[in-house]
Amino acid sequence: MTVELVHPEGVHRVDVHHQVADTRGSRTVYLAGQVSWDIEGNLVGRGDVAAQAEQCYLNIAAALDAVGASAADLAKVTVYVVDLDEAKAGQFVVGRERAAATLGVAFQQPSTWIGVTALAAPGYLVEVDALAVLP
């Protein structure tokens, strides 16, 4: 395993992700921010944070698969949500967990969540970029 997720002593433990990813690999994969578009570039989940988060993570899984990686190789994600608040954070987790269930994986990597005023195109509410480490 190239990525070990850790809940360190002395740091507040949160349920939605680990605080540390200890990596032992030699290949780093950087993913562009993934939004909730389908293979044709159509917006999925207009107005629905959970549906958009789910599609973002399905796109991340597809991007990782294209380079021989998987969700287990993820070391860090950065999440951008338009007008982020507690309700939208909860909706985001619902969508992320739906994607995890569909893929049969866990998305517990360290993450940073950032509230933004807008994303690159109208209608997009969520964008997730990721970093993976492989042997």
How confident is the model over 89-127, as pLDDT tens digits? 999 999 999 999 999 999 989 999 999 999 999 999 999
Write the pLDDT tens digit of every residue in 42-93. Answer: 999 999 999 999 999 999 999 999 999 999 999 999 999 999 999 999 999 9
Band (pLDDT 50/70/90 cuts) for residue 20 is confident
Q: Tell me if residue 82 falls in helix, strand or coil.
A: strand
Q: What is the C-alpha to C-alpha distance for residues 131 and 15, in angstroms, rounded to an integer? A: 21
Does this model's pTM top 0.85? My answer is yes
Q: Which residues contact 89 (CB under 8 A, 6 or more apart)?
A: 81, 113
Query: Tell me, what's the pLDDT at 24?
Result: 85
Contact between 40 and 111 (Cβ < 8 Å): no
User: In whole angstroms, what separates CA 110 from the centre of its chain?
Assistant: 10
At which residue do the structure tokens 């002593």 appear?
9
Query: Tell me, what's the pLDDT at 11?
Result: 79
Evaluate whether the domain defined by 29-134 bears CATH number 3.30.1330.40: yes
Task: Retrieve residue 82's tokens.
Answer: 């338009």
Query: Tell me, what's the pLDDT at 22?
Result: 79
Q: Tell me if residue 47 falls in helix, strand or coil.
A: coil
Q: What is the C-alpha to C-alpha distance for residues 22 and 2, in angstroms, rounded to an integer? A: 8
